Amino acid sequence: MMHRHTQDSRLILQHTLHSAVELKYAGQTLFRYVYESGAPAVESPKPYFHPLRTLAGNEVTIYRPHDHVWHKGLQMTSAHLSGQNFWGGPTYINGQGYVQLDNNGRIQHERWTDLRCEDQSAELREELRWITANGETWIREKRRITVSEINVDESYWALDFEFWLDNTRHAPLVFGSPTTQGRPMAGYGGLFWRGPRSFTGGRALAAGGLEGPDIMGRRAPWLAFIGSHDGTADSSTLIFIDNPANINYPNKWFVRTEPFAAVSFAFSFDEEYVLAAGDALALTYRIIIADGAWTREQIAQLAESNYLK
């Protein structure tokens, strides 16, 4: 099933106060961004995208899966930040495994500074605070979310992110992962996507000929995940694109196809990143959401043309 252009093909932004912002194109939802989730503290509440859909209407995220209820669609987060857990659930401790600690922080929406929508583009600017389990603000964040490319002929659209993380702790902040704490090949953190259950066993590709489990922890400027949908039996392709301006470029990827579909821009996969007091970390990413099972050649051509955007 492919999306077809109609005369009313335009973007509409709908805001439900103290809840969510929904972006629609040609009358159907592309994304719902929940900025006040109401999640329990143990799940480290934070804004998230769900549902996220292709132009054909196929859903490419999952919400609160039973195996990891803190996995919510697409979200910015950190599993290990100077002893605090903004990921949700238990914390990995070397020699003990995962232990539920009283260290679940939250990422709290403060205010919108801009909500703008035109026929073919939308921009959301938001201010947030990263707050520890005991109520200390460690990061003041500015976040920009844009949709500026909708390609009906090739049936894809692009979701762009800019994050500015200002360290307001008055001490260094150390970004890590379970891998930096001793668990091999579990370097998740940063911007994280969890796919629908039907994407389990899907195909992961990355630049440089990488494929499948070989991608885990390897550097590549882009990664693509191809999965199939129950119900429609359609396929969809997501392309995750790093930016040359980002730290530790090209990104080391966290990716799973089994036992579930997941991808993370893991800038601190196996090496801690220290953000000095008063300094800011800027990160820019693009995600392409496409209908169909794209070939490596199609993916590479589009991804490589997007590196500097």
Terminal C-alpha separation, the chain: 29
Answer yes or no: is 132 within a domain.
Answer: yes
In this predicted structure, the answer to whether residue 1 has a pLDDT above a threshold of 60 is no
In this predicted structure, the answer to whether residue 181 has a pLDDT above a threshold of 80 is yes
Two tokens at 42? 């143990």
Residue 284: band (very low, low, confident or very high) from pLDDT cuts 50, 70, 90: very high
Residue 307: band (very low, low, confident or very high) from pLDDT cuts 50, 70, 90: low
Average pLDDT value for residue range 123-143: 98
Q: What is the CATH number for 90? A: 2.70.98
Contact 118, 254 (CB under 8 A): no
The rounded Cα 187 to chain-centroid distance in angstroms is 15
Residue 306: band (very low, low, confident or very high) from pLDDT cuts 50, 70, 90: confident
Q: For residue 51, is the peptide bond before it cis, meaning its omega torsion is within 30 degrees of 0? A: yes
Residue 72: band (very low, low, confident or very high) from pLDDT cuts 50, 70, 90: very high
Per-residue pLDDT at 42: 98
134-154 confidence digits (pLDDT tens) = 999 999 999 999 999 999 999
Per-residue pLDDT at 5: 46
Q: Give kind and range of the element (H or E) at residue 303.
A: helix 296-305
| Residue in the structure block whose two tokens are 């993370």 | 264
Contact 38, 44 (CB under 8 A): no
214-247 confidence digits (pLDDT tens) = 999 999 999 999 999 999 999 999 999 999 999 9
Answer yes or no: is 6 within a domain.
Answer: no
Contact 53, 38 (CB under 8 A): no
Q: How many domains does the chain have?
A: 1
What percentage of the chain exceeds 70 in pLDDT? 96
Contact 259, 144 (CB under 8 A): no
Answer yes or no: is 3 within a domain.
Answer: no
Average pLDDT value for residue range 30-54: 98
158-174 confidence digits (pLDDT tens) = 999 999 999 999 999 99
Per-residue pLDDT at 9: 85
pTM for the whole thing? 0.96
Expressed as residue numbers, the domain containing 272 is 11-305
Answer yes or no: is 277 within a domain.
Answer: yes
Find all residues with CB under 8 Å of 191, minimum gap 6, and list them: 74, 75, 76, 161, 163, 264, 265, 283, 285
In this predicted structure, the answer to whether residue 6 has a pLDDT above a threshold of 60 is no
Two tokens at 174? 């150390």
Answer yes or no: is 5 within a domain.
Answer: no
Answer yes or no: is 4 within a domain.
Answer: no
